Structure 1
């Protein structure tokens, strides 16, 4: 039998008189994780509903070690006030609510709180003056690219890398975890969520600044310098009607990792000082109805039904902001009953209702074509049966002769080149399209039958199942990337079969690719299809290549890829009518795009007479 003395000595003893920097250490996971500590001294800098924030009174000289920490325990809140210097005991804990999140180092079960003095000055760390975030890399574990493949080859919680706050964005914000900071000269760069949380930029260096005031992601730069403003500590609420480009008052708050990203939790609600009411202008591109200047638009209309609240806004955009293109590729058209799982699959009422509203708004009298999917086989909202479809102005173009395919017919490229089905789906039984929208290929011609071109309307698999950009997995999990790679290869093969039969064929692949141009699968698509991104062909500035906002980034999910023959003399604009508005006021979560092309047949070269 073990003696009482041996049992006593087996119990863990508290680690006495450690500093907050020693608790945090210079990595993500505390070197004292799980240890009981006592005699920790600090200055109370801010108080929340469930705890307070404590800054060391004996800081070290290492920027990698945060001098502040969160003390969790609602019963302790009433025992302290901002400006108190206190000592306490507790336990060093690492907390996260999901396995994909980073851990938050905190002191839990606080006890033996002694207030040594009160009314001490509390000065925040000035971001942009005393400390500034890096602008490109997130983590040294990302091999230089947060979208590198393979994903999830390491985890911060396992590797626990030493922080390099001057190099990596995650390291920078982690090195300030729990710290009271000040942010000045702030501009909102994203839509507010339902809680009013928004990302901002301020008085520090940023990259990717676009004309509307947001930050556009580019290859190997997803803007870690942006920071989210979260729920105020005093129980007030941030407004949820702000817009991209609005400016707000300076913020004082604490840095904390919350719900998938680093945030600054302000001491009180954001106050907008000026509102960006500069509406996005209509496109300057207008086709003239001839083969020399034929306009084509593309628009993800966000789960559109006949009764959608956004349908009139979508109609107005197509008629007056895209200037009524001769052809419009639409994505996320739902069936006539929307997200009601009632067996209805046709979208003829959805499409005809939208067409009528476009005409009423001054646009063309569009005809439409679609292929009705197999019920509940194409993903999206259950029962909604989203699919891609085309609107076309029958006074300018028409479908070339051919029978329309069914939901199970696989299109083929015949001699000519011509399509076996027009329009027809591309390899719909291929496993690459499981629970995903099938691409719709069509051959078009001007009314005289002399000028032919091909389009493929796509909506690749969504990024569902991905992990946070600021999460534990490094590089982050790019949800469904393998399926999108397979889909890109199927579409690329179809394009190649057209160009093999006619190297001068005019081919456009457009739609919602759910991916970025510089990331596989799209790099694979370009390599295997022989097409080029139209943005590159016409020289759209990198900062203006966006159609969507997610987290801190303006980003491009919607693209146009063209064959060499179609790219000659083309023009393109992304019409930013939705991304700058809050969710309630926007007609879609995507911006539309419109381009003007020369689809005239190549003139025959006359032989000289002898």
Structure 2
């Protein structure tokens, strides 16, 4: 499930296709007229066929008839037509998209048209994306026969109509692709949606499971009882439980003409939506609403965790999303307020995505002192403690992320509650090790220090930051992480089923390196308190998490929560885990400590995924912070 940047939205077709359309316009091949109709040679369902790929792909078709059900004047410009005279085969769609490119056509919903053009299969994002394709007509000549016709009745997508199984397994003889498999819309959710591609569909009043984003889209579910979170989302529980009722909602009207509703997770899209069913790069099957209901606010509030007790150590992790001094003061203030009010000023706070002192300006700057001073000053202004910090500057452009930004992990700590044990002078390329101190306990050779930075697992990726802290006379080792992203992974709606998760191989090796380091600590000092935190960019059920936990070295604390509360991020309507805190066996109880217990944790520690961002249209980061409290 890749986390893909969409700075270039809305997506547009290739320059080559646009050039073809422009040439056709100049040559008079793309036109709208009101001449009399001629008999159609093929019908829309003949074009769509019974698989994901048109049997007529690449061929010219003439006088395909249909009623216009929607016109899109932005992004991928064109319109949808639907044949009101359906065949008896539920696997063949009766709708198709007519791609017009830059042409300013005058068709409107309700027009009866005849379209001649070329049948094509367009893959949003390109072949390498693994996406399914959209069947469409290109280089069209359009004849309007009449206007004001009734639109074909919409097909209702509902909990009753959407199958519980998500997709068939791909054909091993075709590289795992489902493209050539006959559609089974009564058996698989993706097959149902494909059988409705281009058709007029509707959803009734539905719960929002993905908040309105900057691209004017949101996600709903037509299955209110499918893996609901406590706060109204849809929890992504496993690779085999993809939440089949999710559907992306956009609107046909440009936002300049009709503002898109702002919704948080758990709100209701009252009255639902109706319009053509599209397929796009950033979400797959999408209802492009011609008519859109109103958002009913269900009053979702940002969570606050409890304050740690005097003898509890609170360790937190927070991805602050490319924070740099050029960000507006309001972002610093909002993040600081969250640290103080929502996270209750944790004793140790590991930050991810702290950028250097001039952000994305790519001039060789690697220091983040200005970023950290501005942030810690904002925390004081919000009523929090004067945090100290420790970090290691990366080599320029060697740790991935936004070019020039030089993101890194940073430890903030409250010196009134905890002290940092400084050892040596760690740098970007020198790894820290574990030795036995004169007292017989584990100690780091470099604190702060990086873990195995020369390991190729960390190429173009953030290196883990290890630090040794002291709380009430006891050492605590904290490792701050930001594993490789899911960029390059195929989406759940991929033509390959199951989708290819290529990025997982790198995170697996990263997890193995961190696991080896933790085991080194535990070899020297059995029962040592080791806390591994950060944005590991993977699920609690993933191979990455399993590699971190291997040999009993660590345990993912998010698993102590009820399944309905296990998430830190919302992507395409799936509430999922990306940020984690993992604990060694010594943390919270195996030493005979009383530990702590609350409604969200288990005996020995208390864990909280503090939901303040991921479910909201207004975000200060796209991640929710995590907090662990225990008695060392």
Which TM-score tier does this pair reach, normalised by the shorter chain?
Answer: 0.7 to 0.9
Residues 496 and 529, structure 1, Cα contact 8 Å, conserved in 2: no
Judged with a 3 Å threshold, the aligned counterparts in structure 2 of structure 1 residues 90 and 289 are, in CA distance, closer, same or farther, namely same
Per-residue deviation at 1:234? 7.5
Find the aligned partners of 1:112 and 1:280 in 2 and give their Cα distance.
51
Match of 2:192 among 162, 172, 186: 172
Find the aligned partners of 1:346 and 1:522 in 2 and give their Cα distance.
31
Find the aligned partners of 2:361 and 2:116 in 1 and give their Cα distance.
56
The equivalent residue for 2:569 is 548
Residues 195 and 240, structure 1, Cα contact 8 Å, conserved in 2: no
Judged with a 3 Å threshold, the aligned counterparts in structure 2 of structure 1 residues 405 and 271 are, in CA distance, closer, same or farther, namely same
The equivalent residue for 1:579 is 614
The equivalent residue for 2:378 is 357
Answer with 1 or 2: which has the greater Rg: 1
Query: For 1:341-393, what per-residue CA distance to the aligned partner results, in whole angstroms no more than 9, with x for missing partners?
Result: 23332222322332222222222222211122222221222222211111112
Indicate the SS of the match to 1:517: coil
Match of 1:306 among 325, 345, 357: 325
2:48 is aligned with 1:27: no
Could you tell me the TM-score, scaled by structure 2's length? 0.82
Match of 1:377 among 386, 393, 398: 398
Find the aligned partners of 1:434 and 1:425 in 2 and give their Cα distance.
14
Match of 2:135 among 95, 105, 123: 105
Matches within 5 A, 1:444-455: 444-447=469-472, 449=473, 451-455=474-478
Match of 1:222 among 242, 246, 268: 242
Find the aligned partners of 2:369 and 2:318 in 1 and give their Cα distance.
18
Residues 206 and 223, structure 1, Cα contact 8 Å, conserved in 2: no
Judged with a 3 Å threshold, the aligned counterparts in structure 2 of structure 1 residues 26 and 407 are, in CA distance, closer, same or farther, namely same
Matches within 5 A, 1:273-422: 273-284=295-306, 286-290=307-311, 293-309=312-328, 310-400=331-421, 402-415=423-436, 416-422=441-447
CA RMSD, 1 decimal: 2.9
- The gaps in structure 2 that reach 5 residues or longer are 1-37, 590-603
The equivalent residue for 1:559 is 580
Residues 334 and 350, structure 1, Cα contact 8 Å, conserved in 2: yes
Judged with a 3 Å threshold, the aligned counterparts in structure 2 of structure 1 residues 41 and 76 are, in CA distance, closer, same or farther, namely farther
The equivalent residue for 2:278 is 256
The equivalent residue for 1:239 is 260
Residues 461 and 484, structure 1, Cα contact 8 Å, conserved in 2: yes
Per-residue deviation at 1:135? 4.5
Indicate the SS of the match to 2:47: helix
The equivalent residue for 1:209 is 228
Find the aligned partners of 1:276 and 1:452 in 2 and give their Cα distance.
45
Could you tell me the TM-score, scaled by structure 1's length? 0.84
Query: For 1:545-584, what per-residue CA distance to the aligned partner results, in whole angstroms no more than 9, with x for missing partners?
Result: 11122222222110011112214310111111111222xx
Find the aligned partners of 2:254 and 2:200 in 1 and give their Cα distance.
15
Residues 351 and 410, structure 2, Cα contact 8 Å, conserved in 1: yes
Find the aligned partners of 1:214 and 1:560 in 2 and give their Cα distance.
22
Per-residue deviation at 1:124? 1.0
Moved more, 359-368 or 420-429: 359-368
Find the aligned partners of 2:621 and 2:477 in 1 and give their Cα distance.
27
Find the aligned partners of 2:338 and 2:349 in 1 and give their Cα distance.
12
